[in-house]
Structures are given as structure tokens and as C-alpha cells.
Amino acid sequence: MLEIAYPLTFLLLPLPLIIWFFKRTKKPELAAIRTPLFDSWQSLQTQTQSSRTDLLNKLFVLLAWCALVTAAARIQWIDDPITLPNSGRDLLLSIDISGSMEEEDLTLNDKPANRLMVVKSIISDFITRREGDRIGLVLFGENAYLQTPLTFDLKTVRYMLDETEIGLAGASRTAIGDGIGLSVKRLRERAEQNRVLILLTDGRSNSGELEPIEAAKLAKHAGIKIYTIGVGADEVIRRSLLFGTTKFNPSAELDEKTLIEVATLTGGKYFRARSTKELAEIYALLDELEPVEDEPEVYRPIQELYYWPALLGLLCFFMPMLINSLHTLFRRMTNSPNAPTTVRIDSQQESKRGSYAD
């Protein structure tokens, strides 16, 4: 779509005609404004040329003025609007992938499933709803590592989450403090705004160089809010041939006290997910606590077109000079001494020459 940035500039179009009209009615003693454009026009009037050449030169000068005024008005081509990602939260998901996440105490689609499978399913839906946020993925077991840096590319984050397997970071122990510390390091590199860490685990910290509380203090100093989630059922019934039916608590190792303290210290909250339904409700609640910005930014690419009339104006401005030069060159060639001349001899002179000859 074509738009004009400064449409009032076109009010200058009749200016040369106004100046020409007042110059005809009253000859000024001294020109108040002298510009090459009007000097060129004045020189064209004083030169001895044919009426056709003079009219053509004035036409070029007038076209040059119109083109330059059009360029000053800044004609633009505005493309269709493009929706940009919202400048929302920097949100890191820190997930426990230690060996205890293999425990099948949850269900997925009414079938028994291990904790990691359920977590991946729920978090994948959560990521889909976070359009506009930068999402990153940190995994921790015995060690902690960055699976996906903060990015707007939610499709890639979901893919990398789906590729996550138990044991990638060590299966025997859990380094919750290192998972928080690595997340803090990545989040504090971003601009200071809504920076959030969601940490999910099913155990207690028994590995790593950094204690969870110390890591939480670093997060608080960096302005990072941490939401902690403890996942795992409280009671599971198992049947065996030797002992019959037995009940046990698969989440006995879950350190809720530390997770509550970490969340409270940073201004977040602690959630307990004993089932797939509760875990889904927790992530829905997190959507409400940390909402995505509703109004996306819209960008309309603008292509400037002013240089085309500007080039046309310059071309028209120099055309009278070129025409004058060609006209002068042609006149000199026709008046050159070497040009052939036609000699006319009338009949009387011819008869006189004939009598002298006799």
C-alpha cells in the first residue's frame, strides 16, 4: 500500500508559477532568494532560442520541480503487518531426569506411565501455551546441563524435551542445587525483566557442588522467581507372589521442606503433584500466575520510494543544460568557416563578365 509521509509538501508545487507571475508584473530590484533551479529557469528566458526549444526547457525545469517536491513528500510502500513475538518472560524449565523418575506411579491416557513420560506430556502442552515467552530447558541428574537455551522457537524446545531420556545427566543421584545454579547463570544473562524458573523434581539434593538454598539466594539476588514442583504419588499398591499386596510411598525421598524454602526465598510458590491431573492443574495455575502478554507487537515493513522521483528530478534538471549544449554545438557547426557556401550569380553580372571577356 502506498502512503505519503508529508502530504502537505505538495502545496509547494505551484511555487514556480507564482514566482513567474510576480516577476512578470513587477521586476524585483534584487532577488531575495537565488537558487540554481530558478537561476537556470531565468537563464533559459534570456537565451536566444527558438520558441520550441525554450518551451521544452521550461517543461523540463517544471518537471524537475514537481519530481523534487514529490521526493520531499516521501512516498512509501508499506507491506502487510507482521506479528512479532511478544517481549514476554524469560522462562527456564529445570527438570529432574535422575533414575527415580522411572517410577511408574502416575498414569497417562489411563495407562500406567513413569514420571518422566507424564512430565514431558504436561510440560509440552504448557510450552505450547507460552507463545511470546522465551523458553529454555535445563536438565539435571548427577550433573546439570543446558538442553535448550532461551528461545522463542517453542517447536524446538518441545522437540528437545521429547528427546530427553533418563540418565542423560547421570541416573543415580540428584543435583538440585546445580540445576538451580545453571538456570540462574542463564537467566541473569538476559535483560532484567520477568525472569522465571520452574523446577520439577521427585527427590532430594544429594549431589553437585551447590546447595539448593545457596543457589536460591543467588536467584533472589539476580531477581529470579522460582516455582518448585514435587512430583510423585504418596501411595502405591503393589502385588507380588511372595508378599501379596503391599503399600509403599514412592515419594519418601522427596525433600518438600527444601523445595518450599527455595520457592519462598525467591518469591515463588511450591506445588505438590501427586497425580497427572494435579500436575496439569499446577501448570495451568502457573499460566495464570505468570500470564503471557495478550497484545503482540505488530511491525509493518516500510520501503522508502523517495529516491525514484529524486533521481527523475535531477535528470529533468540537467536536461535543459544538455539541450542548450547540443543546441550551441549545432549552431557553431553550422556557422563554421569550413562549412560549404552557396554562391549565387545573377544574369546582369554574368553578362558583364561576358562583355569584358570579348
Q: How far is CA 207 from CA 102, 185, 235, in A?
A: 19, 19, 26
Residue 278 grid coordinates: 494435579
Q: Which residues pair with 228 in a beta bridge?
A: 199, 270
Give the pLDDT confidence score for residue 291 in this predicted structure: 81
Give every CB contact of residue 221 below 8 A, 6+ residues apart in sequence.
none
DSSP code of residue 205: -
In the structure, what pLDDT confidence band is assigned to residue 94 with cuts at 50, 70 and 90?
very high
- What domains can be seen in the chain, in order of their start residue? 1-80+300-320 (no CATH), 84-298 (3.40.50.410)
Predicted confidence (pLDDT) at residue 125 exceeds the cutoff of 90: yes
Residue 210 grid coordinates: 551447590
Predicted confidence (pLDDT) at residue 174 exceeds the cutoff of 50: yes
CB contact at 8 A, 90 and 150? yes
What does the pLDDT look like over 75-89, one tens digit per residue?
888 877 766 555 578
Give the pLDDT confidence score for residue 336 in this predicted structure: 62
Q: Determine the residue type at 264.
A: T
Give the pLDDT confidence score for residue 342 in this predicted structure: 47
Mean pLDDT over 202-208 rounds to 89
Q: What pTM was computed for the model? A: 0.60
Report the range out of 6-15, 211-220, 235-244 with the highest average pLDDT: 211-220
d(Cα 150, Cα 190) in Å, to the nearest integer? Answer: 9
d(Cα 353, Cα 292) in Å, to the nearest integer? Answer: 114
Give the pLDDT confidence score for residue 10 in this predicted structure: 87
Mean pLDDT over 139-146 rounds to 92
Give the pLDDT confidence score for residue 169 in this predicted structure: 82
Predicted confidence (pLDDT) at residue 170 exceeds the cutoff of 60: yes
By three-state DSSP, how is residue 238 classified? strand
Using alpha carbons only, what angle is made at residue 301 by residues 298 and 303, rounded to the nearest 5 degrees? 160
